[in-house]
Amino acid sequence: MLIGGPSSTGGVNRGPFLPDVAVVGAGPVGLAIAWRCAQRGLRVVVHDPTPGSGASHVAAGMLSPVAEAYFGEHELTGLLAESAARWPAFAAELAEAAGTDVGYRTDGTLVVGLTADDLAEARRLWAYQQGLGLPITPLRPSALRDREPALAPRVRGGAVAPGDHQVDPRRLVAALRVAAERAGVALRPAPVARLSDVDARVTVVAAGCGAAALTGLPVRPVKGQVLRLRAPGRGAPGFRHVIRGYADGESIYLVPRYSGEVVVGATVEERADTEVTAGAVLRLLRAAVDLVPELAEYDLVEASAGLRPGTPDNAPIIGPLPGRPGVLAATGHHRHGIVLTPVTADLVTELIVTGEPDPLLAPFTPARFVPEEERKWN
């Protein structure tokens, strides 16, 4: 057990009330780790002045191990698939624990191309994904339209990834807060400026972009701008699949919720501000309306921007921090924080409880970004 004996036998200087685990950051990853640790009988504190205000607040909540399987990211693809496989049970257990629905929805994802060029671009990726044995199936145009009549007649073609699902990230955070608190987790609203200010046997840095300042890890903000539309009359949207599309070279997604909300995203910008720009809104709306014309009649209810925690290899950073005994990282989830929440929480909790990292974590160790000479304490 990484943290030693039960906390009630803690060191003389720290007294019996030292938490077993302090989590810095109350996004989905941090809250899920806290919840899982509390389920294992650990005493857990979560530090965050504004829970759920990071990347998850803007995220669409696509659970897309297939459509997000990109060239050269083989190990990440494996982790996405592993976590997506855990989502049904995770969603059910969380809904039960929190007494609230998290919007988990299994209608599947369509990947479509507007023009011939867009379709060619999409096909290159399907071929790669099919080569990995992932479940994605090209559809004839008539079959595509049978599935989603709301697609524009111009849309040239597409494929279906039936296992790529969705969840509502804002509901997810709300449910995780309830579940964690019911399991005994304490939420502390003060910001954490330095890890030395945190008093616990194990500290988990799940602070998204904030992890860089706390740990020195190479986590950088990657700005994303996102719109939220609402179907007129507060009915459900006129389509049920998540639609990922290429439209005149623009890559966008449309995520329909039962509530009538449609999330349209997202830009990927190497910037650290959170301003919403006219050009980004124009590009997102143009592509959205080109793919699904009825969206022009929808209300535009929110335009927002968030910062994803990006890493040099686009993969998350999960595991012990070299040279910092008792400190774990669970950050750098970039565009995959929602889908990776269950597996991250499970593996970090196991690591804390057993002291042994799961082999699944090996490619994602913080050590890959720490020079040898700085690892002496590890």
Helix axis angle, 341-354 relative to 74-98, nearest 10°?
Answer: 90
Count of positions on this chain that bind its own copies (CB under 8 A): 22
State which residue, 79 or 229, has the beta carbon closest to its own copies.
229
Residue 303 CB, nearest distance to its own copies (Å)? 6
Q: How far apart are CB 297 and its own copies at their closest, in Å?
A: 6
Q: How far is the CB of 242 from its own copies (least distance, A)?
A: 18
Establish if 231 lies at the interface with its own copies (CB under 8 A).
no
Q: Report the run of H or E that residue 330 belongs to, with start and end.
A: strand 327-331
Tokens of 142: 């008539």
Q: Within 10 A of 178 (CB to CB), how many other CB atoms are there? A: 17
Q: What is the largest CA-CA distance in the chain?
A: 72
Nearer to its own copies, 39 or 267 (CB): 267
Min dist CB 241 to its own copies, Å, is 19
How far apart are the C-alpha atoms of 228 and 276, rounded to whole Å?
13
In the complex, the smallest distance separating the C-beta of residue 151 from its own copies, rounded to whole angstroms, is 16
b/e burial code for range 60-79 (CB count within 10 A of at least 16 → b):
bbbbbbbbbbeeeeeebbeb
In the chain, the amino acid numbered 135 is P
Report the residue number, 22 or 295, with the smaller CB distance to its own copies.
295
227 binds its own copies (CB under 8 A): yes
Contact with its own copies (CB under 8 A) among 299, 312, 325, 375: 299
3-state secondary structure of 225: strand
Q: Which stretch binds its own copies (CB under 8 A): 94-102, 164-172, 227-235, 245-253?
A: 227-235
**Site for its own copies contains 159 (CB under 8 A):** no
Alpha-carbon distance of 36 to 21, in angstroms, equals 11
* Closer Cβ to its own copies, 181 or 250, answer by number: 250
- Compose the 301-340 pattern: x for residues touching its own copies by CB under 8 A, - for all others: x-x-------------------------------------
Provide the CA 371 distance to its chain's centre, in angstroms: 28
> Cβ 148 to its own copies, closest distance in Å?
18
Rounded to whole angstroms, the Cα distance separating 15 from 9 reads: 8
167 vs 307 by CB, closer to its own copies: 307
Residue 31 CB, shortest distance to its own copies, in Å, is 31
Instruction: With H, G, I as helix, E, B as strand and everything else as coil, classify residue 175.
Output: helix
From CA 256, how far away is CA 240, in angstroms rounded?
6
Instruction: Name which of residues 274 to 293 contact its own copies (CB under 8 A).
Output: 275-279, 281-282, 285-286, 288-289
Question: Taking CB under 8 A as the rule, which mask of x and - marks residues 258-277 in contact with its own copies?
Answer: -----------------xxx
User: Strand 165-166 vs strand 62-63: parallel, antiparallel, or unpaired?
Assistant: antiparallel
Supply the angle between the helices 169-182 and 28-39 in degrees, to the nearest 10: 30
Residue ranges that bind its own copies, judged by CB under 8 A: 227, 229, 232, 275-279, 281-282, 285-286, 288-289, 295-301, 303
